[in-house]
Amino acid sequence: MASRTGTAATVPHLVRPPRPRVVALACLLLALAAVAQLAALPLRYWHQDFFHTAARSFEPMGGVAFAAFGTTADLAADLLTAVLAVGLLTLAAVNVVGVNGSRIASWASGPILACCGTVGAARSPRPLYTIYSDENLDRITAMARDAMPNWLEPLLLTLGLGVPMAILVALVLLALPSANAFFQPRTLIDPPWPVRTSPAAEPEGPPRAG
């Protein structure tokens, strides 16, 4: 008579809790901040163009070479800001699925992007203040603001203040206990279950007489 014997195995697997609302909100804030920062970069250059156009009617006092160096440094800073913004947008998408490494990278890069956005909003107009007198600079500023749309500077101010705030709030949300549980799933082991069965071999005996 045949009998069946089997072996049992346990299978570990990761159990991740449902995505909490704080994580979804944090990812949304990071994505919006990154998009807003990318949108602010060309707007700032458009804003600067009004000042440079108005400045053509005035003679600079000097320091043009230093101003050119400052412009080059500004371009490098804007390039870094763009790279960080694209990276943060990517991290926001990865954070949605609960990758803890992307959360750590968000904590590392988010404050840098917030600082870049704040500095970028505070360094306008550039580099006119280094090569024109105060009197001429006031006249240049008045001419530039008369030429630019009325909504441009309030929008830049809103983006300059809103992007750092959104990033900081998102990073705080990612550190909440419910977010920690989502980004650090537990490993559970299922109860044993049979994975293989085979018939037992019958014992050998002397041949039967016919």
In a domain, 30, yes or no: yes
Domain hosting 109: range is 22-57+65-181
Quick check: 193 pLDDT over 60?
Answer: no
In a domain, 14, yes or no: no
Between strands 193-199 and 186-189, the pairing is unpaired
* Percent share of the chain, pLDDT over 90: 33
Q: What is the mean pLDDT of residues 89-95?
A: 94
Alpha carbon dihedral 175, 178, 184, 187, in 10-degree steps, equals 170
- How far, in Å, are 7, 55, 143, 155, 166 from residue 42 at the CA level? 66, 20, 21, 13, 20
pTM above 0.75, yes or no: no
Total domains in the fold of the chain: 1
In a domain, 195, yes or no: no
In a domain, 188, yes or no: no
